[in-house]
Amino acid sequence: MNTQLEGHNMSYNIVMFAYNEEANIVQSIESIFNNTDLNLNRFYLIANGCTDNTIDIAQSTKSRLKFEKMTIKEITLGDKCNAWNTYIHDFSDEAQTHFFTDADVRFSENCFSQMNTKLGQAPEETVVIAGMPLSGRNIEFYRELLTQRACFFGNLYGVRQSFIDRIKSTNFRLPVGLNWIDSFLTKAVNTDLSFGKDNLPQRTTWLEGVGYTFDSLSFLKKDDVKLYFSRIARYELGKLQEVYLDDLPLAQWPLDMIEINKKIHASFAQQTEQLSWFKTILVRRRLNKIMSKYL
């Protein structure tokens, strides 16, 4: 941990969501350890539904680094929405900023202190700072989404305590089983939980050159190809789910996506007419796997 750069005097938490990340978890934990400062309050690693050695490896890494501010939480359900809800409503405290990260990325030098200071100096209506993507084949496209359309991504973003308080006060929760999480969180922030059509101004900010990197997937690796196809299926199914949620007032959002998934399944051919045959196959496989749990 960097003890030389304290930056702004705002405290912050970091929460990392991990599902079967034994191949990446060491470098991600090390990157957090090396790029935080004395204003770090608590680093939570939330392992959700892991069936590999993620937890054991994380425990070993914590001990080796003597990372006293790291806490490992294990929850049974392997669902990122449930993990996000659990942190917000059960684990989050009064830290002034809450950073959310994935377990397969690395972070730019001193990014947390820099982002924490930037968010603290931003106008009151600015409640999120987005980590800048610093690698990847589609980096320019994602940078444009971030800078021009106020998007942010689950790889790295920071949330002001004031918005965490607002989420808690409204008991807002992501429905378990929601597939396109980044889109819904972006909407939640930019509409102040109204989920209207128009974004409010100045809800997000960013710092040029401050963010995260990751290893690009290789089509020569079987596991990478499998992950790539899984991402396509999640995004496309998430778009189908989004149509149903957009038609519901927030107060009527379900706690999980079971009934909406059933509706998608019942009229699958009509709802996927605009998809390519390949994406249709991937979405059908993912939906069938989900449906097998409760049909």
Using DSSP, state whether 191 is helix, strand or coil.
coil
Q: What are the residue ranges in the chain where pLDDT is below 50?
A: 2-7
- Whole-structure pTM value: 0.93
Q: Which amino acid is at 86?
A: T
Question: Which strands form 97-102's sheet, in the order they lie side by side?
Answer: 70-75, 40-48, 12-18, 97-102, 156-160, 128-133, 204-213, 106-107
Return the pLDDT at 94.
86
Q: Give dist(CA 185, CA 180) in Å, integer.
A: 9
Q: Which amino acid is at 40?
A: L
**Residues 151-177 pLDDT 10s:** 999 999 999 999 999 999 999 999 999
Q: Give dist(CA 262, CA 290) in Å, integer.
A: 10
Q: Give dist(CA 266, CA 137) in Å, integer.
A: 36
Return the pLDDT at 109.
96
**Token code pair at residue 17:** 């969501």
Q: Could you give the C-alpha distances from 74 to 54, 69, 146, 215, in angstroms and in order? A: 10, 16, 31, 26
DSSP H helices, 129-221, are 139-148, 161-170, 181-190
- β partners of residue 158: 99, 129
Return the pLDDT at 7.
42
Return the pLDDT at 295.
60
Domains and CATH numbers, the chain: 12-213 (3.90.550.10), 222-291 (no CATH)
Return the pLDDT at 142.
92
Return the pLDDT at 101.
97
Return the pLDDT at 269.
93
Return the pLDDT at 151.
95
